[in-house]
Amino acid sequence: MTEKSGCDEHCEELDFSARIRLNGVLQGEWEEIAVRRRTELETAAERPRLLTGLSLSGGGIRSATFNLGLLQALAGAAKLRGFDYFSTVSGGGYVGGWWSAWLARRRDDRALFPAPSRIF
C-alpha cells in the first residue's frame, strides 16, 4: 500500500507562487514608519536608522492601572510620538487595546492620547 502525503489529491489547488520574503516585510515596515514619522514628527522620509518600541507588561488590573499612568506620563511629556512599535501582554493588553481603539477613532489627528477628563 502506498502512503499519501495529504497533498496528493489537492496540490493543484494550492498557490505557492506569492511568497513574501523577510526583506520585503522589513522594507514595507520601514516605508510605513517613514510615512508616519514624516506626518507625525515632520522628519525626513529616509529609511529609519533607529527604531524604538514601547511594551506594556502584564499582571492583571494592577499592571493595567500602572500602564495607563505610564501612557499618561509619556503623553504629558510629548514622548509617545517617538515610538515605532507597540506591544502588550496580559494586563498591559487591557490598556493597549483601549488605546489602540481610541487611536483608531480619534477626532483630532494631532492627539495621541485623550485628555484626562475624557478617560473616565
Q: pLDDT tens digits, residue range 27-84?
A: 888 888 888 788 777 666 666 678 899 999 999 999 999 999 999 899 889 888 888 8
97 contacts: CB under 8 Å, gap ≥ 6: 88
Residue identified by cell 524604538 is 52
Q: What is the 3-state secondary structure (H, E, C) of 22-56?
A: HHHHHHHHHHHHHHHHHHHHCCCCCCCCCCCEEEE
CA distance 30 to 107: 26
Residue 76's alpha-carbon distances to 87, 111, 120, in angstroms, are 20, 11, 17
The DSSP output letter for 110 is T
Q: Global pTM?
A: 0.65
Question: What's residue 65's pLDDT?
Answer: 92
